[in-house]
Amino acid sequence: MAEAAIAGPAPRTAPQSLWVVPPLLVLAVLFLYPLALIARASLGEEAPSFAAFEQVLKSGQFIDGLYHTVVIAISATAGCLVLGFILALVIAFVPFPGARLASRLIDTVIALPTFLVTLAFTFIYGSAGIINETLMHVLGLELPPINFLYSQWGVILAEVTVYTPFVMRPLLATFSLIDQAQIEVASSLGARPARIVRRIILPAALPALVAGGSLCLLLTVNEFGIVLFIGAKDVITLPLLIYSKAIQEFDYTTACVIAVVNVVLSLGLYTLYRIVVAHFGGKSAGVV
C-alpha cells in the first residue's frame, strides 16, 4: 500500500518531462551533432591528434585573425557603450520632438541585417562616396581624402552603428525606472548636469551598460556580414577566416580548428553575459 502511494505520482510526472525529448532530439541532430563533427574534424582525419591544432594556432594568418577579431570587438563595444549612453541619455532626459520616433527607429535597426549599413557606407564614405566627392569639390583635390572605410576602422564604425541599439534598449528601459523627481531635486539644489549624470544616472545605468556591453562583445566577435562586405584584404577576423578556408580553399581541417577556437571564445563570452545578467537581474537591466 505504502509502495503504491510512493509509486503513484511517478507515472504522472515521468511522461510529463518526456515531452521535452522531441525538441531536444531535433536540436541534438541539427546543432550538437554538427558541432561535435567540427571538433572531431579539427583533430585530423585518422587517429585524433593535435597536429593540425598546433600548426594552425602557430600560423601567422590565425594569429592575425584572432588579433583583428579581439581588437575590432573591443573597440566596437567601447564605441557602442559611449554612443549608446549619450544617445539614450538625450532621448530619456532631454527629450526632443521626435524622440519617440527615434527610439522606434532604433528598434527597427535591430531587426535589419547588419551588412546593409556597410553597403550604405560605400555610398557615404567610399572613395566615390558623398563625403569624398564633396571634399574633392570644395577643396579642389585630385584624390579622395578620406580612406578609412576599407580598413579596420571602417569595420569598427559599421559595427558601432549596428550594435549601439543593443546598448540603448536596456539603457532606455533602466532610465524609464529612474525617479525623475530625484533628478529635479538634485538640479534644484544646484547640481550641474555632469554631476547628476555621474552621481545618479551612471550608477543606476551600470547593470544595463555591463549587460549591453557583454552582449555587444559577443555579437561583434561573431560578426561576419560587415567584415565580408567591407572586403578589406588586411582585415580578416576569425569568422571570415573560417569562410575563406572552407569555401575558397576547401581546407576543412584548418577551418574546423579555427571554428573550435571561435566557438569556445563565443561560448566563454556568452557565459560571461549570462553571469552578468543573472548577477544584476535580467529584468531590471531590461535585456532579453
Partner 1 sequence: MLVWSKSGRIATWAVAVPLFLLIYGLPIGVIVLASVSGQWNDILPTKLTLAHYSDAFRADSFDALKGSLVTGVVASGAALVCGTWAALALRKMKPVPRRILDLFFFIPSAVPSVSIGLGLLVAFSQPPLLLNGTKMIVLIAHFVLISAFTYGNVTAGLSRLPIDCEQVAESLGARPFYRLRRVTLPLLAPYLIAAFSLSFALSMGELGATVMVYPPGWVTLPVRIFSLSDRGAIFDAATMATILGAATLLVLIGLSRISTKAMVR
Residues 79-118 that bind partner 1 (CB under 8 A): 83, 86-87, 89-90, 93-94, 96, 102, 105-106, 108-109, 111-117
Q: Does 5 bind partner 1 (CB under 8 A)?
A: no
Among 100, 198, 274, 279, binds partner 1 (CB under 8 A): 274
Q: Does 281 bind partner 1 (CB under 8 A)?
A: no
State in angstroms the smallest separation of the CB of 208 from partner 1. 17
Piece of 2-10, 27-35, 46-54, 203-211 that binds partner 1 (CB under 8 A):
27-35
State in angstroms the smallest separation of the CB of 68 from partner 1. 15
State in angstroms the smallest separation of the CB of 160 from partner 1. 8
Q: List the one residue out of 31, 48, 69, 27 whose CA is nearest residue 242.
A: 69
State in angstroms the smallest separation of the CB of 5 from partner 1. 20
Question: Nearer to partner 1 by C-beta: 1 or 233?
Answer: 233
At a CB cut-off of 8 Å and minimum separation 6, what does 109 contact?
A: 162, 165
State in angstroms the smallest separation of the CB of 51 from partner 1. 19
Q: Does 144 bind partner 1 (CB under 8 A)?
A: no
Map the footprint of partner 1 across residues 238-257, applying CB under 8 A: 238-240, 242-243, 246-247, 252, 255-256
Q: Does 288 bind partner 1 (CB under 8 A)?
A: yes
Q: Does 166 bind partner 1 (CB under 8 A)?
A: no
The CA-atom distances, in angstroms, between 269 and each of 55, 112, 123, 262 are: 25, 23, 34, 11
Map the footprint of partner 1 across residues 171-200, applying CB under 8 A: 180, 183-184, 187, 193, 196-197
Among 262, 276, 277, 280, binds partner 1 (CB under 8 A): 262
At a CB cut-off of 8 Å and minimum separation 6, what does 256 contact?
A: 38, 39, 41, 42
Identity at 125, one-letter amino acid code: Y
Among 137, 143, 189, 190, binds partner 1 (CB under 8 A): 137
How many C-beta atoms surround the C-beta of residue 58 within 10 A?
A: 9
Contact yes or no for 232/154 (Cβ under 8 A): yes
Q: Does 259 bind partner 1 (CB under 8 A)?
A: yes
Map the footprint of partner 1 across residues 51-80, applying CB under 8 A: none
Q: Does 222 bind partner 1 (CB under 8 A)?
A: yes
Q: Does 225 bind partner 1 (CB under 8 A)?
A: yes
Rama region for 231: left / alpha / beta (φ>0; ψ in -120 to 50; rest): left
